[in-house]
């Protein structure tokens, strides 16, 4: 099936974002940021293969991936593009959770009781991870990534394979909402968002597609 094949006028851009497939960190509800470079597990690869079937036939000009294995592997499976053909961008990596990475929330509570959280529905977002990245800093990084991507690829169909927290801030930048309001939009594994941008980078339309619907069995935490 062809996904969101929008006719682009000169200078308009179609920016897709794709969250990676399931990892052991997702499944065991451990904090996964940029310091632990884990691969997809078997279920994550199966999800990506299902997503590939649903994405087949969609036109792309550029594929950009986070440098982390889970994002690169997902992009390879879903798009069929080899790593050598992709652009690997450090700005698109996940939030740095510092000393919280690899820990469950119970372990964090025992070791770092001073960590504060913002609860939104079923997710608790850490506000001050020791040695980690604030949401304001993450938003600045997402803004820099968007500006660089539009400078390099304006007028093209671009797919970005990345991670939940980073893409929440990228989506927030595109929608014009603040870093904390952006957290209200959870992103599932293999969720595809399509942003249709005008020649000045302003949002014209946005669509969401669940390329692997059963990913809802593994919600973010």
pLDDT at 117 (0 to 100): 96
Angstrom distance (rounded) from CA 161 to CA 74: 7
pLDDT bin (cut points 50, 70, 90) of residue 218 is: confident
**Total-model pTM:** 0.95
Strands across the sheet containing 191-197: 87-88, 62-65, 157-162, 13-19, 191-197, 203-210
Q: Which helix (H) or strand (E) holds 17?
A: strand 13-19
Residue 81 within a domain: yes
Q: What is the mean pLDDT of residues 47-71?
A: 97
Instruction: Please report, for the domain that includes residue 111, its CATH number.
Output: 3.40.50.1240
How many separate domains does the chain show? Answer: 1
Residue 193 within a domain: yes
pLDDT bin (cut points 50, 70, 90) of residue 129 is: very high
4 vs 89 pLDDT, higher one:
89
pLDDT bin (cut points 50, 70, 90) of residue 1 is: very low
Residue 8 within a domain: no
Residue 221 within a domain: no
Question: 3-class DSSP state for residue 5?
Answer: coil
Structure tokens given for 187: 């992103």
Angstrom distance (rounded) from CA 76 to CA 109: 37
Residue 220 within a domain: no
Show the 3-state SS of 109-127. HHHCCCCCEEEECCEEEEC
Sign of the CA dihedral 154, 158, 161, 162? Answer: positive
Residue 208 within a domain: yes
Interval 134-157: pLDDT, tens: 999 999 999 999 999 999 999 999
pLDDT bin (cut points 50, 70, 90) of residue 217 is: confident
Contact indicator for 2, 157 with CB cutoff of 8 Å: no
Name which of 211, 206, 147 is nearest 19 in CA terms.
Answer: 211
Q: What is the mean pLDDT of residues 13-26?
A: 96
Residue 179 within a domain: yes
Interval 60-99: pLDDT, tens: 999 999 999 999 999 999 999 999 999 999 999 999 999 9
pLDDT at 221 (0 to 100): 59
Residue 2 within a domain: no
Domain hosting 83: range is 16-214
Contact indicator for 89, 205 with CB cutoff of 8 Å: no
Strands 13-19 and 203-210: unpaired
CA 83, distance to chain mean position in Å, is 17
């Amino acid at each position: 099936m062809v996904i969101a094949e929008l006719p682009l006028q000169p200078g308009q851009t179609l920016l897709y974002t794709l969250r990676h497939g399931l990892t052991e960190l997702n499944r065991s509800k451990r904090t996964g940021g940029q310091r632990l470079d884990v691969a997809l597990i078997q279920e994550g690869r199966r999800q990506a293969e299902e997503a590939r079937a649903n994405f087949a036939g969609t036109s792309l000009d550029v594929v950009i991936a986070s440098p982390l294995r889970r994002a690169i592997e997902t992009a390879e499976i879903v798009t069929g593009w080899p790593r050598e053909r992709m652009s690997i961008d450090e700005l698109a990596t996940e939030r740095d959770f510092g000393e919280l990475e690899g820990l469950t929330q119970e372990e964090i509570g025992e070791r770092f009781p001073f960590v504060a959280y913002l609860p939104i529905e079923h997710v608790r977002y850490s506000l001050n991870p020791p040695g980690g990245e604030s949401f304001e800093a993450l938003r600045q990084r997402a803004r820099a990534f968007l500006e660089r991507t539009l400078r390099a690829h304006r007028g093209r169909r671009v797919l970005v394979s990345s991670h939940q927290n980073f893409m929440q801030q990228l989506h927030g930048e595109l929608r014009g909402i603040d870093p904390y309001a952006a957290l209200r939009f959870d992103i599932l594994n293999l969720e595809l968002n399509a942003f249709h941008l005008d020649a000045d980078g302003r949002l014209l339309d946005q669509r969401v597609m669940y390329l692997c619907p059963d990913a809802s069995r593994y919600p973010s935490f």
